[in-house]
Amino acid sequence: MNKQWLLAQRPTGLFTPQDFELKEVIIPELTDEQFLVRVIYLSLDPAQRMWAQMDTYLPAVAKGEVMRCLGMGVVIKSRSPAFKEGDVVQGMTGWQTHVITDGRGYSQVPAKSGLPLPVYLGPLGMTGITAYFGLLEVGKPENGETLLVSAAAGAVGSVVCQIGKIKGLRVVGLAGTAEKCRWLKNELGIDEAINYRDANAYAQLKTACPKGIDICFENVGGKSLDMALGLLNVGARVPLCGYISEYASSEPGPGVHNLAALISKRAKIEGFLVLDYVHRSRDALSDLGKWLMDGRLKYNMDINEGFESLPEVINKLFEGKNTGKLLMQISAEPE
Amino acid sequence: MNKQWLLAQRPTGLFTPQDFELKEVIIPELTDEQFLVRVIYLSLDPAQRMWAQMDTYLPAVAKGEVMRCLGMGVVIKSRSPAFKEGDVVQGMTGWQTHVITDGRGYSQVPAKSGLPLPVYLGPLGMTGITAYFGLLEVGKPENGETLLVSAAAGAVGSVVCQIGKIKGLRVVGLAGTAEKCRWLKNELGIDEAINYRDANAYAQLKTACPKGIDICFENVGGKSLDMALGLLNVGARVPLCGYISEYASSEPGPGVHNLAALISKRAKIEGFLVLDYVHRSRDALSDLGKWLMDGRLKYNMDINEGFESLPEVINKLFEGKNTGKLLMQISAEPE
């Protein structure tokens, strides 16, 4: 049997169990070219909130459709020439325990690399590729510049911070707890980490960026972006990766007031999507893999269990409760 | 005697007469290299509100200093080899009837060109150069694209609209009165003009941009920008020229809420300053001059009189009461 979470209604604030319907369906027979995947890990990402709510760069998940997400699993039956039994694969599995696919959008994971499998959904997956191209292609960093990263302890942010250090930047991170700040400073080695919930966060930020901000890698938007705008240097770049301050609120979030600063500073805010860089992921993965191997790229995985708890667990993203990549493990890794 | 308006206090909302002090001072003797200008026209621009209030790309006007502005006048006495009596010149004259200068930042106006002198503070001055480079260099228009212009009946906006038409764009303008909209459509020949004060302005805008917005030339910010963000196309550019919605309010203006749209649309907002393009103004003026001569570039001048009324007249900019370039004439043109 295949257990699935179907979207039942469009979420308005945080996800609720009522937004989904849990269903069990019989797994049909394979036709030619198809293979069956037993899903192991599901990747939980802020974008899923948007996909559930509205048409964006992808059409909204339809009501009654399996909730969309990236996942990883093992092929347990195959009539495909390209994917054989035992292959570990990743693709848009959705929130379900099994998938039948013809392989479009799926790729093999180098399961025998010695690296833990979840890494391929984190720093060596879309997460890492997003951080890599967002910082390097949109942010265009130059040695010695100051980089501010919001949601710095998040999956993408924590990789951005470390690439920033590798590229010779002064890196300042914003995160939502003192513990995350300690992790960023002590484990990831960034220059300063600030709890944006502190009353004097802006003053701390100003002190942490004595030469102003050249790049603000923005995952949050709203007040976080407003703070950064106040400290931009001439020619600053703001790669806009996510806008988590708005994703999970039913009300419009706090507006941004300091945009006029872009004029005096000849600065820009530029949105980007990792989809536009996927054809170049080999370059990113080669660098990211090297940095992982030589210990310059560290990561934290927040691996959860319990397929039934998906609607609650994903909210950790919007409540700032995860450190690093948020995953759900729903079956065992192959021996 | 030289009459001057000195800045007395930093404005908090609209300008008030109390923000300035009117003073008469004796005009000193010229030293070598200096010349004396009798000021004829003062250019009133939204940026002056910012200059009076705070440090930006220029230091704030100091209290007790002559209020800063661009102006035009005639040389009535000269000990400069480069500027002779009778020359019509422009430069940062400030709010005063006479200026003594060594000529730095001043240039001669081709007074015998047959064009009215005020044109050199409008479409053939900084105003036109701002419109030209903002649209062409920052907006990077391509034939057939849709251009939205806010404050479209303003000095810069009205030039942007017309360059847009010359470059083969569909041009939609936002303005604050039905009369301005009529002028934009009937006189300047843009495709649609919408009164942003109409309750259904967003619906009108959507209808006027059936293929979405590729370039939004933004002078206003706040709600105006929010409307545009909702209709951006993939790869859209938002040259941010001004942010008049915030300049003249003592409270923070309406925040911008739709920035997340930049992500899905891989779009960017980019601030720019005409100062960065001044060294290339010859290119702009050559095109602008040609378009003026062949009638493809029209303009409206809102020429006011009465030096004493400067603090009130400049507020027309922030109350949306000017159509086209706002000038103050404070003495007669040379015969």
Within 13 A of A317's CA, how many CA atoms are on the CB side?
Answer: 36
Closest CA to A126 of A152, A166, A155, A102: A155
To test the contact with chain A by mutation, choose from B50, B56, B268, B275 the residue with the greatest count of A C-beta atoms within 10 A, namely B268
For residue A286, is it within any domain? Answer: no
- If asked whether residues B182 and B96 sit together in one domain, one would say no
- Identify residues of A whose CB sits under 8 angstroms from chain B CBs: 56-57, 221, 225, 240-243, 246-247, 252-257, 259-273, 276
Residue A41, strand partner residues: A72, A329
Chain B residues whose CB is inside 8 A of the A243 CB are: 259-260, 263
User: CA of B55: how far to CAs of A85, A196, B58, B61, in Å?
Assistant: 67, 27, 6, 8
- Residue at B290 is within a domain: no
Name the band, by pLDDT with cuts 50, 70 and 90, for residue B298: very high
Residues A88 and A32 in one domain: yes
Residues A193 and A266 placed together within one structural domain of the fold: yes
Using a CB-CB cut-off of 8 Å, the residues of chain A touching B271 are 261-268
What number is the ipTM of this complex? 0.92
Confidence band, pLDDT 50/70/90 cuts, at residue A112: confident
Q: Which of A263, A265, A271 sits opposite B263 (nearest CB)?
A: A271
Is residue B229 included in any domain, yes or no?
yes
Best of B262, B273, B276 to disrupt the A interface (most A CBs within 10 Å) is: B262
Task: Kindly state whether residues A139 and A258 are assigned to the same domain.
Answer: yes
CB atoms within 10 A of CB A275: 13
Are both A146 and A265 inside the same structural domain? yes
Q: In the beta sheet, which residues pair with residue A303?
A: A327
Query: Chain B contacts of A246, Cβ < 8 Å?
Result: 257, 260
Using an 8 Å Cβ cutoff, are B165 and B189 in contact? Answer: yes
Chain A residues in contact with B269 (beta carbon < 8 A): 259, 262, 268-270
Number of domains in chain A: 2
Calculate ∠ Cα A84-A90-A94, nearest 5°.
115
Q: Among A260, A275, A290, where does a domain finish?
A: A275
Q: Of B211, B255, B254, give the one whose Cα is nearest residue B236.
A: B211
Confirm whether A294 is domain-assigned: no
Residue B52's domain comprises 2-117+300-329
Instruction: For residues B69 and B173, state if they share a domain.
Output: no
Which of B258, B275, B292 terminates a domain? The answer is B275
| Distance in angstroms (rounded) separating the CA atoms of residues A283 and B254 | 43
Which residues have C-beta within 8 Å of that of residue B43, sequence separation ≥ 6?
B69, B70, B71, B72, B121, B125, B126, B127, B325, B326, B327
Residue B256 per-residue DSSP state: B
Hey, are the CB atoms on A267 and B270 less than 8 Å from each other? yes
The domain that holds A202 is classified in CATH as: 3.40.50.720
Looking at residue A218, the DSSP 8-state letter turns out to be: B
Task: Mark yes or no for CB contact B263/A256 under 8 Å.
Answer: no
**Residues near A85 by beta carbon (within 8 Å), at least 6 away in sequence:** A75, A76, A77, A78
User: Could you give the CA distance from residue B35 to residue A308 in angstroms, rounded to a whole number?
Assistant: 83
A221 and B256 in contact by Cβ < 8 A? no
Residues of B in contact with A265 (CB under 8 A): 271
What average pLDDT does this structure show over A230-257? 87
Residue B151 falls within a domain, yes or no? Answer: yes
pLDDT for position B320: 86
- Judge whether B19 lies within some domain: yes
Is residue B232 one of the residues assigned to a domain?
yes
Indicate whether B69 pLDDT > 90: yes
Is B70 found in the same domain as B203? no
CB contact under 8 A, A240 and B261: no
Chain A residues near residue B228 by CB distance under 8 angstroms = none
pLDDT above 90 for A252: no
The reply to whether A184 falls in a domain is yes
Is B260 close to A243, i.e. CB distance below 8 A?
Answer: yes
By percentage, how much of chain B surpasses pLDDT 70? 99
Q: Which amino acid appears at position A314 of this protein?
A: I
Residues A201 and A231 in one domain: yes
Q: Predicted confidence band at B248 (pLDDT cuts at 50, 70, 90)? A: low
Mean pLDDT of B106-114: 90
Same domain, A212 and A238: yes
Instruction: Find tokens 């001569």 and name the residue.
Output: B293
Best of A268, A272, A274, A277 to substitute, by most chain B Cβ atoms within 10 angstroms, is: A268
- If asked whether residues B147 and B247 sit together in one domain, one would say yes
> pLDDT tens digits, residue range B16-40?
999 999 999 999 999 999 999 999 9
**DSSP state at residue B21:** E
Indicate if A206 and A307 belong to the same structural domain.
no
**B237 and B169, same structural domain?**
yes
Q: How far is A214 from chain B (nearest CA, A)?
A: 14
Question: Over 80: is that where the pLDDT of B252 sits?
Answer: no
Cβ contact A263–B257 (<8 Å): no
Please indicate whether, in this complex, the C-beta atoms of A266 and B273 are within 8 angstroms of each other. yes
Between the alpha carbon of residue A153 and those of residues A124, A317, B88, the distances in Å are 17, 11, 61
Give the pLDDT band (50/70/90) at residue B225.
very high
| Min distance A193 CA to chain B CA atoms (Å) | 25
According to the model, what pLDDT value does residue A111 have?
A: 85
Give the CATH number of the domain where residue A80 resides: 3.90.180.10
Q: Please, are residues B294 and B286 in contact by the beta-carbon 8 Å criterion?
A: no
Looking at residue B13, its pLDDT comes to 86
